[in-house]
Chain A
Amino acid sequence: MSGRRVGSALALGATAMGAFYLGTHVERERRNDGFANSLPRLPGLPTFGTVSAASLIPAQEANVSLAATPSRIGQIMKYGFPGLDHVRSHSDYVLSYDRRNRVPHWVFEHLTAESVAKNDAVDRAKCDFKQDESIHPFFRSQNTDYRRSGYDRGHMAAAGNHRLHQKHCDETFYLSNMAPQVGQGFNRDAWNTLESHVRKLTKTYSNVYVCTGPLYLPHKEDDGKTYVKYEVIGANTVAVPTHFYKVIVGESPDQKLHMESYVMPNQVISNDTPISVFQVPPESVERSAGLLFFDQINRKQLATINGKKV
């Protein structure tokens, strides 16, 4: 399959080049542009020369990067991009933003035992939910959209996954990393349990890669037809997803790869429900999301999927 990898690398390279030149062009245009507040620019796609599943990157780096360095982004995105729409790179996670729904398409994280360990130098209470000024004002969600909406500002990239540095934690509080989640019984409970479970996997695997995002799943109504229906909140009509997924790959010390995949409904889930109930085949998440997760890995090469031998 190396031909395919070269092909996709070329395609991505072309995209990145195109994005760069478009960017410089837009930058020049903006000077005589009517928009009062210019958007701070975040690095979008990393240079793809650094993103390769072929090279094993050591799990521990001596220095913690505070910028979205190509090497860190390459590390996080080692197993491929689920999609390339509006990619934003932060210092410790990568996000693809869905401008129509004002929530992410997906976020990608790379966790190690070190990066999820309790760290006295990082205080979650110091973090504030803040609008992401790198998103165009038309497509930005704001605190006012969420206030009294009945929904939490639910992290896709969890704050507890980024404890190497305060800045890493701060950056998970951008509202571009949020989606409306049911609070009690979901965001602060069952979903939180799943997040903890993913963190605990770093005890088993030297590296844990996880992709998280929203789903808008159809349901059948009384007329026998199938509809996708979801609420939108606030003046910015932020979409309330019907479900959320996490697709996870753990690299065990013997270089074997293990996959887990979950879909949870965005509703109150009783505390005694084991999260294994929400395991689903990764293909079904891919179909619903319109994305491919870890497509640099041949599924047949996985040691286990959802705990079962492949």
Chain B
Amino acid sequence: MSKRKAEDAQTDKMATAEKVPQNDYTIGLEDPVKDYQKLIETRVQVDEIVDDDVTKENFDRTAASARDVIWRLLFDEANAAPSNVEKATQLLEEYRGDACFYDPTPYNEWIVKLRDEVLKKELLDFWREVLVKKQLGPCWSRDCDLFDSDDTPPLEFYAHAGCTAPFAASLKVRAALEENASEDPNSPALPTTPGELSADDRAALTGEFEAVITKENPLEEYRSLMKRFVLTKIIVPDSVHHASVRKMAAAAREIIWKLLFDGTPSNEDQDKAAELLQEYKGDAGFYGPDEFNGWIVELRDEVLKRELLDFWREKMVKLELGPSCSRDSDYYDNDDPLPLEFYEKAGCKAPFEATTEDD
């Protein structure tokens, strides 16, 4: 391609598609933002572990190149064109964003020189619309993690040619707030002392509580007792905790027995017994199922002896209320035999299959 203008001879066009020599940090005037970004991507923002000094050096050279190109785009008479101001603006924004992260100090020094040159050449539109409005002055705590609110905001930088910093107002508000909040060192503190133990927690801690369950509403009563004296948030010694669980379990077994065997149980009583039995079996599967597994056989035998066949079929077999096993408790695993024969009474079968040996 032949060059159309002599002036262009000096503008080094970088072939972005080609590999750039290792030491070349040129940014062309054609598409400076793209050239700049490529340098950052390939030499600075590298995911491999690179010595920080090398990264810093690479950024500094890229930054120097960017500053140079911005200066030329703005102040070289040969380049005077709206499109070049646009290019300079874009590159300045891009470079400043990186400077905030990698190295704000050189930017902060150079941008003052750029401002002075801009004002000297009376490029007031650029000053107002770009530098001031887009807040492209020195990096500070608003946009850079190398600064914090103890650092002086760069208000002064913007106070030229009738402008003020766009963030001046918010700083005033903040200053006013800090005036008001001249902190009372003895600020109203929050309650921090843990309160006295509640009566329930104390009972849970000592294990001294009555586990009373009535025929009226056994499941609810069982649950509420568990909640109050077993499932506490406080730390209870294991021995006390186990004793409380056993106390609850005994109370559950006792009331189930009463519901079923004090005379002939109504359907309602059978439902209540099955509900509580299900809940109790679930807890037993967690806290230790031995006691349950022994007792449930006794219960079954009594149920069959009294010919409560509905309860046997519809509740115990169907709801799988037999001995705890790997299907419902983490006390067991696949190597343990399933309690199939428990259910093989009065013509019933276990509601589950034996585990096969193939896997």
Contacts and interface: CB of A to CB of B under 8 A. Distances in A.
Contacts of B47: 144, 235
A34 interface: no
A143 B105 CA distance: 17
Contacts of B189: 276, 279, 306-308
B101 interface: yes
B293 interface: no
A43 interface: no
Nearest to B142: A184
Nearest to A204: B185
Interface stretch (B15-23, B48-56, B253-261): B48-56
B149 A192 contact: yes
Contacts of A235: 47
Contact of B145 (A148, A183, A193, A305): A183
Given A274-B187, A307-B187, A193 B192 contact: no
A153 B145 contact: yes
Interface stretch (A55-63, A69-77, A125-133): A125-133
Nearest to A310: B193
A130 B102 CA distance: 10
Given A125-B105, A130-B52, A131-B49, A274 B181 contact: yes
A143 B149 contact: no
A196 interface: yes
A137 B47 CA distance: 12
Nearest to B55: A143
Contacts of A307: 185-187, 189
Given A128-B52, A128-B56, A154-B145, A144 B46 contact: yes
B45 interface: yes
A271 B55 contact: no
A83 interface: no
Contacts of B105: 125
Contacts of A91: none
B188 interface: yes
Contacts of A192: 148-150
Interface in A111-161: 124-125, 128-131, 137, 140, 142-144, 146-148, 152-154, 160
A272 interface: yes
A70 B183 CA distance: 38
Contacts of A272: 177, 181
Interface range for B: 20 to 34
A274 B186 CA distance: 12
Interface residues of A, number: 40
Contacts of A131: 49, 52
A152 B149 contact: no
Contacts of B142: 184, 188
Interface string B33-50: 000000000000111010
A275 B189 CA distance: 11
A85 interface: no
Interface in B170-188: 174, 177, 181, 183, 185-188
A140 B102 CA distance: 18
B141 interface: yes
A196 B188 contact: no
B199 interface: no
B157 interface: no
Nearest to A197: B183
B190 interface: yes
A189 interface: yes
A137 B149 contact: no
A49 interface: no
A130 B103 CA distance: 12
B188 A187 contact: no
A140 B192 CA distance: 38
A272 B180 CA distance: 9
Nearest to B45: A144
Contacts of B101: 143, 146-148
Contacts of B49: 37, 131, 137, 140, 142
Contacts of A187: 145, 148
Contacts of A140: 49
Interface in A147-177: 147-148, 152-154, 160
Nearest to B188: A276
A275 B184 CA distance: 11
B75 interface: no
Interface string A77-100: 000000000000000000000000
B147 interface: yes
A39 to B, nearest CB: 12
Contacts of A271: 174, 177
8 tightest A-B CB contacts, nearest first: A276-B187, A152-B145, A188-B141, A192-B148, A281-B192, A130-B52, A188-B148, A235-B47
Interface of A: 37, 124-125, 128-131, 137, 140, 142-144, 146-148, 152-154, 160, 183-184, 187-189, 192-193, 196, 235, 271-272, 274-276, 279-281, 305-308
13 contacts: A124-B146, A130-B52, A137-B49, A143-B55, A146-B101, A152-B145, A188-B147, A189-B149, A235-B47, A272-B181, A275-B183, A280-B192, A281-B194
Given A189-B141, A276-B187, 16 more contacts: A143-B55, A144-B46, A148-B101, A183-B145, A188-B141, A189-B149, A196-B150, A235-B47, A272-B177, A274-B181, A279-B190, A281-B193, A281-B194, A307-B186, A307-B189, A308-B189
